[in-house]
Copies of this chain bind each other. A is one copy, B any other.
Amino acid sequence: MAYKTPALLLSRNRILRNYRELHSAFPDFEIAYAIKSNSFPGIIETLRDEGSSFETASWAEISFLLGLGIPPEKIVFSNPMKPSYAIEKALDAGVNVMSFDSLDEVDKLAVFRDRVKAVLRIQVPNEGSMWPLTGKFGVASNRWPAILERMKKKGLPLAGITFHPGSQCETILGWEAAMKHAYDIFSLARSMGFQPEILNIGGGFPTDLGRPIPSVASIAKVVYKHLNQWDTEGLKPKRLLMEPGRGISGSAGILVARIIGTASRDKDWAFLDAGVFSGMMETIDGITYPLESNAPGEWESSYILCGPSCDSVDKMFTAYLPKLREGDIIAFRGAGAYTTVYSSNFNGFDPPTPYYLDELPEGDAIFALFNDEE
């Protein structure tokens, strides 16, 4: 049976290799996979069986993981802003590592001060990130004293520190700067009598989207350079965590779509059966994907790629491709993360169907999977 477009081809083996590469580069770290990047049960179960931990943003996500047999001690609740009912439900379920980055959240967590492990999210530079997270999240250094004072006042212990260099962080400078900030807040906290034991270095691990990216090993080198220095001062945190999402699931997926038609306007437009509302949401903020196509001819025609809906926001990015016609296949590599999780059914168009393969195909082997439809 031929596969239907739009599709998301997924490789469990690739998920495992990505996990193991991180595990071997960061041997002291507990890896908490960010399920918001791709929450298909097939992905979660593969990582569960490998011994992974998981990062969540809501009680719904925690509840989903518990239902898949993940033990609560393998779940961290890293949304810095949580409804009180979600904090309580998570604690009752045994999930106690929780992030925060505001006075409001200090007050909410302080109600449960004896049960919660409160991890302060600090703001770090996000310049190298394609999808920066600064602004909405993270406490800037000028506000650290006020937060720590409030914790003192409320009797809330500081369990640790976390940061996020921004999603798809494409330079090691992101981690370099972040580790310096982490050192500073650890020092400040200790000087105020706190005993933080957790360092959670968040996510940001980039996937290959066709631009130069730092290797996992090179990121590890930067992080360990700092950690080893801390160690010589007797300050290495007891529990080390990381929260890769895209770094595990990104390269494990290929989104496959078909051309519906093309239109010549001031520019040439190519309409696909997947778009912003069916997987390609991140393109609205500038993320692009390496492409493959079975269309014949030279890759010298410039097209604005757009989705099937009647909405002008449903516009992806401009790419050089061969001359396209209805039925041609376009494959987006590196699309295992932050694609189907954003899908809606706008205009009645279905999200991409997930298909699991041992290994992701390339070139003709991709197109062959979809042959019957032509």
* List of B residues within 8 angstroms of A326 by Cβ: 83-84, 104, 108
Q: Mark A301-320, 1 if CB is under 8 A from B, else 0.
A: 00000101111111100000
Known: A260-B81, A308-B81, A341-B344. Contact between A265 and B135, CB under 8 A? Answer: yes
Residues of A233-283 whose CB lies within 8 A of B: 258, 260-266, 269, 271, 273, 277
A133 part of interface (Cβ distance < 8 Å): yes
Q: How far is the CA of A135 from the CA of B140 in the complex (A)?
A: 41
Contact of A263 with B312 in the complex, beta carbons under 8 Å: no
Report whether A312 and B140 are in contact in the complex, using a CB–CB cutoff of 8 Å: no
Kindly state whether residue A36 has any CB partner on chain B within 8 Å.
yes
Contact of A102 with B264 at beta-carbon distance under 8 Å, contacts A310-B137, A344-B341 already known = yes
Select A263's contact among B61, B81, B84, B271, beta carbons within 8 Å: B81
Proximity string of chain A (126-150) to chain B, C-beta cutoff 8 Å, 1 when within and 0 when not: 0000011111110110010000000
CB-CB contacts below 8 Å: A335-374 with B:
341-350
Q: A84-B326, A347-B61 are in contact. Are A108 and B310 (CB under 8 A)?
A: no
* Cβ contact within 8 Å between B312 and A269: no
- Closest B residue, CB atoms, query A59: B348
Report chain B residues within 8 Å CB of A215. Answer: none
Distance between Cα atoms of A189 and B56 in the complex (Å): 59
Task: Give the CA-CA distance A271 to B102 in the complex, in Å.
Answer: 11
Q: B261 near A58 (CB under 8 angstroms)?
A: no
Per-residue contact bits, chain A 26-46, to B (CB 8 Å; 1 contact, 0 not): 000000000010010000000
20 A-B residue pairs with Cβ-Cβ distance under 8 Å, sorted by A, are A36-B309, A39-B348, A58-B308, A60-B347, A61-B347, A64-B348, A79-B308, A79-B310, A81-B260, A82-B260, A82-B261, A83-B273, A105-B261, A108-B326, A123-B265, A136-B312, A277-B342, A284-B313, A341-B344, A342-B346
A-B interface, 10 closest residue pairs, ranked by CB to CB distance from nearest:
A60-B348, A102-B263, A104-B261, A61-B348, A58-B348, A57-B347, A57-B310, A81-B271, A136-B312, A133-B312
